[in-house]
């Protein structure tokens, strides 16, 4: 049994799992399950990476308050790291995101400021800058902080290279929230596994990268306004209403071999299928990425190997459409089983 000095030491080294019942015939389809991070998402890596980088550089002072705009998973990861290290944390979150996320962040000791839905992600970031300037708080700046991508180049990318050593890896499929996973892993694969094709997924309802429209930005790299190609979609944490600087940089570096759009309905279905047919419990963004990976796998030749990132756990989505078909009370089928089964056999 491993022994650790802090919960932060358990971040990373997540498992890669073979897909058995949902994979197309003749294709080896794997998923990297980031829900195995201590607070249940890939953003635990981001949180630890940006805070440790700021500590090392001296930008973050002991006991200084940290502030960040988040759709939820980054905030939860930051709350875990800040609790372990003793930093006060203030998070900014639009009211559209699931209430489970707010409660988890507050449970971990963070303060959560909720902004109106109409302002979307850009308003969250504006509020972050306003509060940081007013109080002298430290901004982790997840969407443009290079320490985000650097941590994935240090951990996630090398984990994938190690776990596929001596084996085929034809495609790596990911979505993007901040772009940290995309940029950080992709540049490792370009160097270590140049034969691997990198596929980046985004919602069909909000095809920001596919549109080719340049994002208007402020001098600090943050968005000046919502991207004109953005429309609301249910894939929380996946593709905000702007193209993050880390993502834009990765595209400019030609790290993506293909940009693929996925439908929200297919994303929900894939999340449910992963649960009921593979026993893998993940959220909507994972379902969206997996939908893209299935398309890639169907088009790949026999013997191909595909790896898909699964960003988070399904427990973040209990109040969302992902669970709307799940009854709290017994279903008719369950009632019939209850009525027809002798008590002694129950």
The residues that are catalytic are: 43, 285
Residue 114 CA: distances (Å) to CA of 99, 101, 152, 205, 223: 11, 12, 29, 25, 19
Q: Any idea what the Cα angle at residue 314 is, between residues 69 and 144, rounded to 5°?
A: 25
Alpha-carbon gap, residue 74 to 228, rounded angstroms: 25
Alpha-carbon gap, residue 318 to 27, rounded angstroms: 32
Count of beta carbons in the 10 Å neighbourhood of residue 159: 19
Burial class (CB in 10 A: 0-12, 13-18, 19+), 56: exposed
What ranges in the chain are assigned the alpha helix state H? 43-57, 73-85, 99-107, 120-135, 146-154, 156-163, 180-192, 208-211, 245-252, 264-278, 284-299, 332-340
Alpha-carbon gap, residue 134 to 70, rounded angstroms: 19
Instruction: Look at the alpha carbons of 298, 303, 305, 310 in this order and tell me if their dihedral is positive or negative.
Output: positive
Alpha-carbon gap, residue 148 to 156, rounded angstroms: 11
Sheet containing 171-174: order of strands: 16-18, 28-33, 305-310, 171-174, 197-203, 258-262
Q: Give which of 54, 276, 32 is closest to 175, Cα–Cα.
A: 32
Alpha-carbon gap, residue 224 to 242, rounded angstroms: 9
Beta bridge partners of 202: 261
What ranges in 136-214 are assigned the alpha helix state H? 146-154, 156-163, 180-192, 208-211
Three-state DSSP at 260 gives strand
């Amino acid at each position: 049994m491993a022994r650790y000095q802090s919960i932060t030491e358990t971040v990373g080294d997540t498992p890669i799992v073979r897909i058995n019942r949902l994979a197309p015939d003749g294709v080896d389809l794997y998923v990297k399950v980031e829900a195995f991070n201590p607070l249940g998402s890939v953003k635990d890596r981001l949180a630890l990476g940006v805070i440790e980088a700021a500590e090392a550089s001296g930008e973050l002072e002991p006991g200084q308050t940290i502030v960040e705009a988040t759709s939820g998973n980054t905030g939860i990861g930051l709350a875990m790291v800040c609790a372990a290290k003793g930093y006060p944390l203030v998070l900014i979150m639009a009211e559209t995101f699931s209430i489970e996320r707010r409660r988890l962040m507050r449970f971990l000791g963070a303060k959560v400021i909720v902004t109106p839905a109409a302002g979307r992600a850009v308003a969250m970031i504006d509020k972050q800058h306003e509060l940081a300037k007013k109080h002298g708080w430290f901004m982790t700046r997840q969407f443009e902080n290079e320490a985000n991508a650097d941590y994935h180049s240090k951990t996630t990318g090398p984990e994938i290279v190690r776990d596929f050593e001596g084996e085929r890896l034809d495609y790596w499929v990911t979505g993007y929230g901040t772009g940290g996973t995309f940029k950080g892993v992709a540049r490792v694969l370009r160097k270590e596994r140049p034969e691997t094709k990198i596929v980046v997924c985004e919602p069909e309802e909000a095809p920001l990268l596919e549109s080719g429209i340049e994002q208007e930005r402020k001098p600090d790299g943050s968005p000046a306004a919502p991207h004109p190609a953005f429309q609301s979609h249910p894939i929380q944490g996946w593709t905000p209403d702007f193209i993050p600087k880390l993502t834009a940089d990765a595209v400019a570096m030609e790290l993506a071999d293909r940009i693929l759009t996925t439908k929200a309905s297919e994303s929900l279905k894939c999340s449910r299928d992963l649960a009921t047919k593979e026993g893998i419990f993940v959220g909507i963004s994972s379902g969206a990425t997996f939908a893209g990976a299935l398309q890639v796998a169907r088009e790949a030749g026999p013997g191909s190997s595909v790896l898909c990132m699964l960003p988070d756990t399904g427990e973040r989505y209990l109040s969302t459409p992902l669970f709307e078909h799940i009854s709290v009370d017994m279903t008719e089928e369950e009632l019939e089983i209850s009525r027809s089964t002798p008590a002694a056999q129950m």
